[in-house]
Amino acid sequence: LRQIVQTRIDTLNGPAAWVVTHRSPLALNTTSDWAMLDAAGDGRLERPTARILCVPLMAGARVLGALELTRRGVDGPFTERDVDSARVMGATAGIAIENARLRQSVEESYRNTIRALASAIDAKDPYTCGHSQSVAQYSLICGLVLNLDADMMRTLETAALLHDIGKIGIDDAILRKPRKLTPAEHAVVKDHPVIGAAIVHNIGSMDEVVSYILHHHESYDGSGYPHGLKGDDIPLGARIICVADSFDSMTTDRPYRRGMTINEAMTELMRCRGTQFCPVALDAFAVGFTRYYDDLPRQPRVLEQPDRIAVPAC
């Protein structure tokens, strides 16, 4: 980013280039002002009929760019008071730009941390490598179809990436069992939404994420877990993740079965429309999958472990 910004600054010309280079405001009110600027530059500046006041955009000791103000000749020259006001505007704008960059950097670090944690969750089971990323992608295409706002899309993505974080607390012997689970083992696995919600609960500003994680195995007809919520009592984000999670699980190979084809999985989802799956979330997924599937990045489906035998999943 620093290199890109420097390149853009280096390509500036005229008053903006002078201001950035000298870190000082510049008022061009008269022909003599322009002549002085010509002498300091390459002598090829185009002189507009308007007067120009240019100030640097500063963030501490760093120059981020230049702010250029123009005034028609009939409006009178720029005064020292105008220069002072513009200097304040430049400093304020520079600080705002720098704060936006810092906020963007913090948000990107946060998102990278979430992705790394999701990858760590998936790595517990070599057969679910990429599962959390895929569930997040499928959830987001639902959100696009439903026109969810930017805040909810971010919440949905975070919850989808972390929906299985509770499996950290489940015995690996159960998660990697090569056969179907016993009722007792299945009961243990069903604790993972509660465990996951408890893990995320202590992270600030993640109340909705906690809710989505806790309820992503609820069924629309009330037959799901952990609380047997029904219909619209289930948060919309959780209903979306339920569809995305189920689709990805059905289309993923397991040691004891081959994954379904896309058509087979879609047929199964539609068979459970209104019972296990929310019609609104499922219909949005069906539309979004058809519309955006070709643009989705492909996730590796099995974690490569060349020096050891892959341990099967549940």
Q: In the annotation, is 180 catalytic?
A: no
Edge to edge, what strands does the sheet with 62-71 contain? 26-28, 51-59, 62-71
How far from 207 is each of 65, 198, 199, 240, CA to CA, in Å?
Answer: 39, 11, 12, 17
Query: How many degrees, rounded to 5, is the angle at CA 32 between CA 30 and CA 34?
Result: 80
Question: How many alpha carbons lie under 13 Å from residue 312 in its C-beta half-sphere?
Answer: 12
Q: Are 227 and 218 in contact (CB under 8 A)?
A: yes
What are the CB-based long-range contacts (under 8 Å, 24+) for 1-9? 5/64, 8/65, 9/63, 9/65
Classify residue 269 by its DSSP letter. Answer: H
Terminal-to-terminal C-alpha distance of the chain: 44
User: Quick check: helix, strand or coil at residue 251?
Assistant: coil
Q: Smallest Cα–Cα separation from 281: which of 265, 291, 270, 292?
A: 270
Find the helix or strand (DSSP H, E) in which 100 lies. helix 80-123
With contact defined as beta carbons under 8 Å apart, do 216 and 194 qualify? Answer: no
Tell me the C-alpha distance between 138 and 129, whole Å: 16
Q: What letter would DSSP give residue 277? A: B
Active site residues: 167
